[in-house]
Chains A and B, each alone.
Chain A
Amino acid sequence: MHIPDSFIPLSQAVIYWIIALPFIITSMKWAKNELDEMKVPILAALAAGIFAIQAMNIPIGMGTSGHMVGAALVAIVFGSPWAGVLVLTLVLIVQGFAFGDGGVTTMGANILNMGVISGFIGYYTYIALRKSVGTSIASFGGAWLGLFISAIACAIEMWIAGTFPLRAGLMAMGTYHLIIGFIGEGLITSIVITAIAKSRPDLLEDNFTARPEKNKKETHA
């Protein structure tokens, strides 16, 4: 879903950068407030793993392939969608500048779609579902929906750009990413989260991930 430079006119690409910037800055603030020596190795391992897995395109039929995005996975592990925005921003910067995967002008749109939209929808869907259906299914559902909605957003951006017709764009992007989201995003996220829940349940507990304001005050007092 990496949008190349040629798919969005520069005037619009700039607007997506402007929209993406506050999210990127907030994710840096999240890092400043939340990262400590315990969490850095986890963040670095996830970022490296997500970069590598994005090179692994899975065939989905119809002459099409797709790969995991990973923002939902990072958000679930860290208990914050800002962690997903941060990691996807880093990954997209390296992909765009070193490998020409996703344009540099369109990087704002790519960060918005894959970092912000898929991460936020993925994370909050997971939170909404996890009490009723459990960690494994909730992480599957969240990751799948996050990817699907980000593909829909991408189709709308392509329509505004004048690159795709609206209906056909929504149909094609929706169909492909429904399947990519199922295998590439939902299944892998669920397997990784389930494995973490078994081997390192402490990572998914709220006290490791989200630090509630109350605790923060107590520790600083």
Chain B
Amino acid sequence: MSRKSNVKFFYIGIAIAFLLAVLAPFLASSDPDGLESAAGGIVEESKMSQIEATEPVVSSPMPDYSIEGLGKGGEVAAIAVGTLAVLAISLGLGKVFSKKI
């Protein structure tokens, strides 16, 4: 198939990704995920509070896909920034590794 149709696939994929970035802060469930939910149900209380008190080893600039003080707009921005970062890394990796054809 032509290079053009792969570029079309690329733009459709990017459009879907950014649409998801905009919608996720409003539509995504805030319920705990399967692992957290399992932990909440079966880990004994003393151990759980110990786990909860433990800070992540590396502190992240946008914890929980949010930007402090920016509310839902910040969440949209955070997910969009992450999507862009993944995109840039994949394209960069592609540039380093890919063969010219």
Q: A: which residues have CB within 8 A of B?
A: 1-7, 28, 31-32, 35-53, 55-59, 62-67, 87, 90-91, 93-101, 103-105, 151, 154-155, 158, 163-165, 168-169, 172-173, 176-177, 180, 200, 202-203, 208
CB <8 Å contact, A67 and B33: yes
Q: Count residues on chain B whose CB falls below 8 Å from chain A CBs.
A: 67
Sample (8) of A-B pairs whose CB atoms are under 8 Å apart = A35-B99, A39-B94, A45-B9, A49-B20, A52-B20, A55-B21, A55-B82, A59-B31
Q: Identify which of residues 21-54 in chain B touch chain A, using a CB-to-CB cut-off of 8 Å.
A: 21, 23-24, 27-35, 37-39, 41-43, 47, 51-52, 54
With the chains together, A98 CA to B81 CA distance in Å? 10
CB <8 Å contact, A5 and B56: yes
CB <8 Å contact, B98 and A90: no
B52 to chain A, nearest CB (A): 8
Complex contacts, B28 vs chain A, CB 8 Å: 55-58, 65, 67
CB <8 Å contact, A39 and B27: no
Given contacts A36-B99, A41-B9, A200-B1, contact A94 B38 (CB under 8 A): no
Given contacts A56-B23, A99-B64, contact A45 B10 (CB under 8 A): yes
Majority secondary structure of chain B interface residues (helix, strand, loop or mixed): helix
Given contacts A58-B29, A202-B1, contact A164 B38 (CB under 8 A): yes
User: Is residue B58 within 8 Å, beta carbon to beta carbon, of the partner chain?
Assistant: yes
A179 to chain B, nearest CB (A): 9
With the chains together, A90 CA to B84 CA distance in Å? 12
CB <8 Å contact, A38 and B60: no
CB <8 Å contact, B29 and A59: yes
Beyond A45-B11, A45-B17, 11 additional pairs, beta carbon < 8 A: A1-B34, A5-B57, A36-B101, A46-B13, A48-B84, A57-B29, A64-B31, A95-B82, A151-B34, A203-B1, A203-B9
Complex contacts, A164 vs chain B, CB 8 Å: 38-39, 42-43
Instruction: Report which of B6, B12, B54, B89 forms a contact with A94, defined as CB distance below 8 A.
Output: B89
A195 to chain B, nearest CB (A): 10
A18 to chain B, nearest CB (A): 17
Cβ proximity bits B70-101 to A, threshold 8 Å, 1 near / 0 not:
00000000110111111101110111011111
Complex contacts, A58 vs chain B, CB 8 Å: 28-29
